[in-house]
Structure 1
Amino acid sequence: MSRFLLRFTFFLLLVYGGLCLAMYIVQDSLIYYPIKTSHKNDKNAVTVRLNDEDIVVAYQASEGERPVASGLASEQMSVEQTTTQRSMALLYFGGNAEDVSLSLPLLAKAFPRVSIHAMHYRSYGGSTGQASQKYLFADGLALYDQLKREYQTVMVMGRSLGSGVATYVASQRPVPQLILVTPFYSLEKVAQDQYPYLPVRLLLRDKFESYHYAPMVKANVLMLVAEWDQLTPLAGSVKLKQEFNAAQAVELIVIKQAWHNSISNQPGYLEALRRFGAR
């Protein structure tokens, strides 16, 4: 091989190595897009202390439930001591760029008799700390445990990135119903499809391996998938469905003419949630 080819090959390897290093350094900014608008002082929000951080939780009281009965200890509210648990709550985990406070009205339409609690991830919506898989998982479990002390039943729902959190929580806790919207097989698979020229397996820290946790889930599962999803394609959702226990009730519904971000705008989306919630 000529000296020129050796130098050129070395140059290409140097550029490729630099690209890999850059992607490793900036990967968190490609996964997490924190909503900086603070909701900690909203009337429909409480701040709870989870794992040494202040986590903002947006909530919508169910029909007939007093707004103060959020079921959470906070800086703004104290826990109302009751001798009986309230009926049902929904714990919602949003997408990587979602303002979950804005999702409350639609969720309330879908589940009018359920108290909605949506977690603003660390660094989102006024929550402190830094988002990562480790902390999203830990905070999700801690919030579920707080709600379970106040409610007889806690459903879990996750959208996009939140589907990874929701699947993990449902694998670790006795969740009766799990809803996954635009879910992925793993974030590693999504990243590999987006960057096929990079060694994603070696570079990615937060892999959100939903396929690993799915077999441990005992809940009834509803999967809502966008027909034209360009980020978490239908094939990945179908593959994830196959990882759940064969004895489970796992329903996958394709929302027609929907993209990844527009799935909740389609009428079939709300209808499917209502039907699942009525079971």
Structure 2
Amino acid sequence: MTRTLLVTLALVAGLYLAICLMLFLFQRNLLYFPQPRAVQAPENTLELAVPEGRLVVTVRPRPGAQALLYFGGNGEDVSLNLEQLAEAFPDRALYLMHYPGYGGSSGEPSEALILRDAELLYDHIRDRHEQVALVGRSLGSGVAVQLAGKRPVSRLVLITPYDSIENVAAGRFPWAPVRGLLRDHYRSADVVGALHVPTLLMLASDDQVIPRDSSERLAAAFAPGVARLEVLDGAGHNDISLHPRYLPLLTEALR
């Protein structure tokens, strides 16, 4: 009986370790879902050189002081936002970044590489426009926050944001030591307390991807008076941009 129990425990432990190992090895396959680029017109495409090859950016060029830089979700083709944003901001230059491995950008997605490319693109934009506003959706909210902590920005909008990817992952896999396994953390709540840029957080009331308490912890981490939180009733994580309040809130926040 004792031997059978020990063998059973050893098998269970081995299976658990094997599952944890799989989570560690394939974690980025669970976090990133690269998408092709729908908008490929030359006039809407910017390519910047990076060590891996090229960084592809969907653009709507405009002269002038104001530019908007958009970071999308982990399974988003950001070029599909071009039409909506162009209508909402007719006089503002638009830059929508395709992460490494997305939309023709070179490399494999990781937090370090995405943040490096975000800084490179920001510096390119800032050479041409005096004011750069950031919009980050879902995964991209963490990119926008990190960039805002390193570069001056005029406005910040975070759509379905989180306090950290590791907290979201820990809630999704409570049986695994995810904090020790993760390579990409996106610890937004550790950054926002030092920000002084006017910020809007847009939450979806029916978000099934980012827990509500994660977004609220991020909002609470801002200094008083810096950020405001708006909840879009009836919106889900993936369809929040279709909500009738989405564009009015976005345009108001970026004035």
TM-score, structure 2 normalization: 0.95
Query: Alpha-carbon deviation of 1:94?
Result: 0.5
| Equivalent residues in 2 for 1:46-65, closer than 5 Å | 46-62=46-62, 65=63
Structure 2: tracts of 5 or more residues without a match = none
Please report the RMSD computed on the Cα atoms of aligned residues, expressed in angstroms. 1.5
Question: Partners in 1 of 2:246 and 2:148 — Cα distance?
Answer: 22
* Partner residue in 1 for 2:28: 28
CA distance 1:107–1:39, change in 2 (3 Å): closer
Query: Alpha-carbon deviation of 1:276?
Result: 1.3
* Partner residue in 2 for 1:70: none
Question: Partners in 2 of 1:226 and 1:183 — Cα distance?
Answer: 10
Structure 1: tracts of 5 or more residues without a match = 66-85
Counterpart amino acid of 1:45? T
Counterpart amino acid of 2:233? K
Whether 2:249 is the aligned partner of 1:272: answer yes
Query: Alpha-carbon deviation of 1:110?
Result: 2.6
Match of 1:93 among 61, 64, 71: 71
Q: Secondary structure at the match of 1:156?
A: strand
Query: Alpha-carbon deviation of 1:198?
Result: 0.9
Identity %: 38
TM-score, structure 1 normalization: 0.87
* Partner residue in 1 for 2:90: 112
* Partner residue in 2 for 1:172: 150
Whether 2:100 is the aligned partner of 1:122: answer yes
The count of corresponding residues between Structure 1 and Structure 2 is 255
* Partner residue in 1 for 2:129: 151
Q: Secondary structure at the match of 1:13?
A: helix
Q: Secondary structure at the match of 2:90?
A: coil
Deviates more, 1:219-228 or 1:110-119: 110-119
Q: Secondary structure at the match of 2:68?
A: strand
**Segments of 4+ moved more than 6 angstroms:** none
Query: Alpha-carbon deviation of 1:176?
Result: 1.9
Query: Alpha-carbon deviation of 1:152?
Result: 0.9
Query: Alpha-carbon deviation of 1:268?
Result: 0.6
Query: Alpha-carbon deviation of 1:168?
Result: 0.1
| Cα deviation 1:26-63 (Å, max 9, x = unaligned) | 1111111111347565431111113553011001234x
Contact in 2 for aligned 1:159/1:183 (Cα 8 Å): yes
Question: Partners in 2 of 1:128 and 1:257 — Cα distance?
Answer: 37
Question: Partners in 1 of 2:250 and 2:37 — Cα distance?
Answer: 28
Question: Partners in 2 of 1:10 and 1:245 — Cα distance?
Answer: 50
Q: Secondary structure at the match of 1:253?
A: strand
